[in-house]
Structures are given as C-alpha cells and as structure tokens.
Amino acid sequence: MAGSAGEAARLARRAALGAIGTAAGLAGWVLVRQLPQRIADPQLYVLLLAFTAGYFTALLALVGPLRLRAALPWAAVPAGIAAALLGWASLRYDTLDELFGRPDALFAYAIVLVLPLPYLVAALRPGVGWRDYPTLFEESWGMVLRIAAAAVFVAIAWLAAMMSNELLKLVGIDLIGRLMRIDWLPAAFSGLVGGLALATIDELPGLASPALLLRLLRLLILPVLLVVAVFVAAVPVQGVGSLFGALSPAATLLGIGLAMLLLVAVGVDADDRAVRRGAVTLAGTAGLGLLLPVVAGLALEALRQRYGDAGLSPARIAAGVAGGVLLAYGLAYAVAVLRGRGWRGRLRAANGWMGLVLVALAAAWLSPLLDAGRLAAADQVARLEDGRLGVEEVDLWTLRHDWGRAGRAALARIEALAAGHPDEARLRERLALSAQAPDRYAFWDVPRDPVILNARAQLRALMPVVPPEAVAEFDRYVLPWYAGSVASFLDGCKDLTPSGRPGCVLVVHDLVPGTPGNEAILFYKSFGLLRGEVIVPEPVFRRADAAEVFSIPPPDFAETDALIERLQDGGFSAGPARINAITIGDRQFTVPF
C-alpha cells in the first residue's frame, strides 16, 4: 500500500510539473508571438512579460526545495517585485527595442528575481533562519544544477524528436514534422519536457547534488591564485602606467575578480563540517580572499582613468558598480582572513549579507536612484559645456539612439548650446549626421579626407535634383560615409549624355506611402548602363537591401542617356508598380526582375 501511494504521489507530481511547464511554454508563446500586436502600451507589455516569465522561472526553481502548494503563491513575490522594477525602468525608453537592447537592465531584473529565492527557501523551511548559510549555499547551487539538467534534457528530447521525424520520413510518414509545424506546439512541448525533467530530478535527491561540480571548481583555486599572485607582484615592477595603456583592462580585471569571488565561496563550502580538504586548498582560498581587494582596486583605477578620458556611459557606470561590489566583497574577505581563527565563518556571513546588497543595488539600478542613462547623458553635456569634450568627441549618436529619453533630452540641450558655440558649424553638422548615420561606426568613421570631401562637393555641384526645390536636401541623401559610392556616383555624373548633360540625377519622392517622409532614387550611369540606389534617410539612414533598382525590361546602352535626360526634365510619373504580389498578412512577395 505504501509503495502504491508513493508511486501515485510521484505520478501526480510529474503531472503537476508537466502541466506547469506546458503552461510556461504556452505563456511564452502568447507573450512573444501574440500580445505584441495586441497591446499598444509598451509599459503594460513589459509588466506582463516580466511578471509571467519571472513567475514561471521562480516557480520552477522553488518547486524542488519547497512543496508545490507553498511554491505556487510565493513565486509571485519576487516575480512581482522584479516585474514592477523593470516596468519602472522601461519608462526611460520610448520603444521596447531600446529597453531590451540594454543588457544591464535585464541583468538587474534577473538579480532581483533570482537572488532572493534561496533566502525565501530558508525563510519558509521550518527550524531554519532566513540567513542560514548552509541552506543558502546548497539551495543556490541546487537550483542552478536542476535548471541546467532540465535544459539539457529538453535539448536531448528535441534531438530525439528530430531524429525520429527523419526516420519516419524514410517510410513516408511526416506526422512529427506536421505536429511541430503547429505554431504553439514546440513551446508547449519544450515546457512539458522541462517540467517532467524537474519532477524526475526531484525524485532522486542526490542527482542534483552540486558536490561534483564544486570539487571540480576547487581544482582551480591554486592555479588562479598563482596567476593572480604573479600579476599583482608584477604590477609594481612593470609600473601602473604600463598596465593602464591605450586599452582599459577593466573588463579583464572585473572578470578575474568575479572568478576569484566564485572560487572563494566554493572553497569555504556550506559550513566547517563540509570542509574536509587539505590545508593547501584552504590556504589558497584565503590567499584569493586577500588578493581580491587588490584586483578590484586596480579595476576601479582603470575605470577612473577611462572616465577621465571619455566620461561616463551606462556600461562604465555598470562596471563601476561591479567594481565597487567586488571591492566590498574583497575588503570583507580580507578582514575575515586577517582576523585569524574562524575566518571561514566570518566569510560565509559576509556572503550572506552581500547577496542582499546585490539585490538592493539591482533594484536601485532599475529605479530612478541609479538611472545610468540619465547620469551618463548629463555627464556628456557637462563635458561639452566646460570643454573637456570637443565637438569631435561627444557621443551624439549614442545619445540619440542608445540612452533612451535621457539621452534625447541631453541631445536637445546640446542643440540649444550649438548657437554661439565656437565650432557651431561643425557641431550642427555632427548633430545632423547623428540623426542619419545607420550605426555608431558610420557616425564615428565619417571620412574627413580632403579627396573624399572634394569628390562630394563636386557631386553636389554636378548632380541635378528632381524636383528642383529638393536640392537643399542633397546632404540628407548623399552622405559622406560611403566614400566608394560617392566616387561611383561622381564617375557616373562625369559620363555625360550626348547633349552634354550629367549622367546622373537624384529623384526625391514619396516612394513608400506607408512610411512617413520622402525617399530617393539616385540614378547614374555605370559603364554605359543605368543603375540606381534607393536611399531612405529617416529615421536612420539606410540604403535598400537590394542596392540596384531593376527595370523590366532593362534599358540598353542607347536608351540610358534618354532615360536620364527625361528624369532630369521631370518626365516621369510615380504610382503603384506594374507587377502583382503575393500577400500574406502584412508581407508581400514579388518577382525581383
């Protein structure tokens, strides 16, 4: 009877977790594939997406350490807090792409969601305090391994499904393939398999034990200590100046500092009873703890020097916060070790408190208290005002496109400062280029070579613009970062027609009625044939994916000159293309020639 009851309980748990996993997969499909077209308010969408993803993530992480009945309501607590903070942070941006393009915001959201889970487990476990370090240590690693093992099993299940489909196709059966082409089914299948995997892992308590992984990580303690010790010893010999050269080493130092932090936590284990290793490994752990503040301090110095050269940016602010956290960890570790006997216990206590500090910092990052975009944008404006940044150095493209509303507000301030600026003409030119450049690389790599600029000036003088009143918009369409194209356009203009006209013309017209503003086609002669390039100047300058404008049928050599002259005289009409298209939803497919 007892065996039957236990088997029934296992089957019921598998069914429950399988249903939860399926619900998670279907919810993800609805949020990603269905809701974006139906919810106009981006902040509401962010809240729904963040809460749903956070709730299922927290639930699947908690359902092993806690009973399902306890995990179901408590998972909503960290999910709700993290979603509210991410929704608050989304108010800094106008579009979802701007928010989801910021890894720092998503990383902070993940910290607020995930780090409190071990504390929640400890708080809900009878007879255990909410800061009980053995519970925090074991549950943190257990959650990581359970989710990782379930993810591996989902990948294996998909591989088995694909191989089974290929096998059945050999005998003319495409049942699995047809099922997987159902839009929502792959998401539901992945969730179902993941839920069943978690249920099975929970049935075998030793399966998700982190003991093997921790033992392997401990093998790295002494090699990492040796490398870091050699590095720290070499810094006074080589000189700090050689360390902080043209390229800031802050990222490397922060990365090694994070690895040291992880290895120290692994080295001291959950409690003294779990520590059954040699004195050499423990000494290595203590050594890493003593060297961590040195590495963190060097990383912060590298960031300080980089800040002095280029100013603040959200990435540098995030790196500064990370360096400050590593320094706080390192100082706590060093004090714990230097106080002598009982250092491992003090170090574990520091880990417990610093986890809460991390959650608080992540929450502040998502709130106005630590709005990195606002701080960085204000710093750029201040540096331009006091002369620490010149017109050629201020990051106008990033202000416009990457730092959300705060960046665009700073850009408006810079536009107001342009009047009366000593280099007003160049500043206004850079402001215009920041609006038109397709990416930051094009913005920063605008050619200043006199030969290229002269070619562009010649092109401006030679090229007819239709209609004539659009001639003032030449610079919006023929931009300087495509130096090779400017040379080709100029060659085409210099290839005169038989009547002596330039062999080129820029036609400005509203070619895409569904998109605000005008587009342009730049027609020019190339080896006697007619070529053309579609140019879309706003909201971000780009050329059409298919660079050439195709004609059906294509003009021959003799007709090219006549067509260019007719274009220059305005002898053309604009209207729908004389070609049918296959329309599926909001997409159209046409014959390209």
**Tens-place pLDDT, residues 345-381:** 899 999 999 999 999 999 999 999 999 999 999 999 9
Cβ atoms of 112 and 82 closer than 8 Å: yes
547: confidence class by pLDDT, cuts 50, 70, 90: very low
List all residues 6 or more positions away from 371 whose beta carbon is below 8 Å from its beta carbon.
Answer: 92, 406
Cβ atoms of 228 and 256 closer than 8 Å: yes
Residue type, 153: F
Residue type, 382: A
**Tens-place pLDDT, residues 277-298:** 567 888 999 999 999 999 999 9
**How high is the pLDDT of residue 199?**
87
Cβ atoms of 153 and 191 closer than 8 Å: no
- Percent of the chain residues past pLDDT 90, beyond the cut: 39
**Tens-place pLDDT, residues 47-106:** 999 999 999 999 999 988 888 889 999 999 999 999 999 999 999 998 888 888 888 999
**How high is the pLDDT of residue 101?**
82
With H, G, I as helix, E, B as strand and everything else as coil, classify residue 357.
Answer: helix
Most confidently modeled range among 319-333, 476-490, 505-519: 319-333
Q: Residue 270 belongs to what H/E stretch?
A: none
With H, G, I as helix, E, B as strand and everything else as coil, classify residue 537.
Answer: coil
CA distance 434 to 400: 7
- Name the nearest CA neighbour of 547 among 496, 489, 490, 589: 489
Take residue 81 and report the two structure tokens written for it.
Answer: 């807090």
How buried is residue 159: exposed, middle or buried, by Cβ count under 10 Å (0-12/13-18/19+)?
exposed
Whether residue 457 is predicted with pLDDT greater than 90 in this model: the reply is no
- Name the nearest CA neighbour of 421 among 429, 480, 453: 429
241: confidence class by pLDDT, cuts 50, 70, 90: low
In degrees and rounded to multiples of 5, residue 584 shows phi and psi of -130, 105
Tally: H helices and E strands in the chain: 26, 7
Beta bridge partners of 465: 506
CA distance 326 to 360: 15
Q: 539 preceded by cis ω (within 30°)?
A: yes
What pTM did the predictor assign? 0.79
Whether residue 592 is predicted with pLDDT greater than 60 in this model: the reply is no
In degrees and rounded to multiples of 5, residue 361 shows phi and psi of -65, -40
Take residue 481 and report the two structure tokens written for it.
Answer: 């970062």
- Name the nearest CA neighbour of 445 among 395, 400, 481, 391: 481
List all residues 6 or more positions away from 478 whose beta carbon is below 8 Å from its beta carbon.
Answer: 456, 459, 460, 463, 486, 489, 506, 522, 535
578: confidence class by pLDDT, cuts 50, 70, 90: low
Kindly report the three-state secondary structure assignment for every residue of 404-452.
Answer: HHHHHHHHHHHHHHHCCCCCHHHHHHHHHHHHHCCCHHHHHCCCCCHHH
DSSP 8-state assignment for residue 155: H
Beta bridge partners of 508: 520
CA distance 264 to 249: 23
Mean pLDDT of the 233-254 span: 71
**Tens-place pLDDT, residues 311-344:** 889 999 999 999 999 999 999 999 999 998 889 8
- Exposure string of 410-433, with b = 16+ CB inside 10 Å and e = fewer, is bbebbeeebeeeeeeeebeebbeb
**Tens-place pLDDT, residues 182-208:** 889 999 999 999 999 888 887 776 666
544: confidence class by pLDDT, cuts 50, 70, 90: very low
Q: Residue 522 belongs to what H/E stretch?
A: strand 519-526
Cβ atoms of 299 and 257 closer than 8 Å: yes
Alpha-carbon separation of residue 389 from 205, 386, 423, 429, 437 (angstroms): 60, 8, 12, 17, 21
CA distance 286 to 342: 12
**How high is the pLDDT of residue 186?**
92
CA distance 185 to 180: 6
Instruction: Give the residue extent of every domain in the chain.
Output: 2-209, 213-370, 373-444, 450-590
Mean pLDDT of the 36-40 span: 80
With H, G, I as helix, E, B as strand and everything else as coil, classify residue 539.
Answer: coil
- Percent of the chain residues past pLDDT 70, beyond the cut: 87
**How high is the pLDDT of residue 593?**
47
With H, G, I as helix, E, B as strand and everything else as coil, classify residue 570.
Answer: coil
**How high is the pLDDT of residue 206?**
62
**Considering the chain, what is the average pLDDT of its residues?**
84
CA distance 581 to 571: 27
Whether residue 519 is predicted with pLDDT greater than 90 in this model: the reply is no
Take residue 527 and report the two structure tokens written for it.
Answer: 């080896």
- Name the nearest CA neighbour of 177 among 169, 26, 160: 169
CA distance 386 to 511: 45
With H, G, I as helix, E, B as strand and everything else as coil, classify residue 232.
Answer: helix
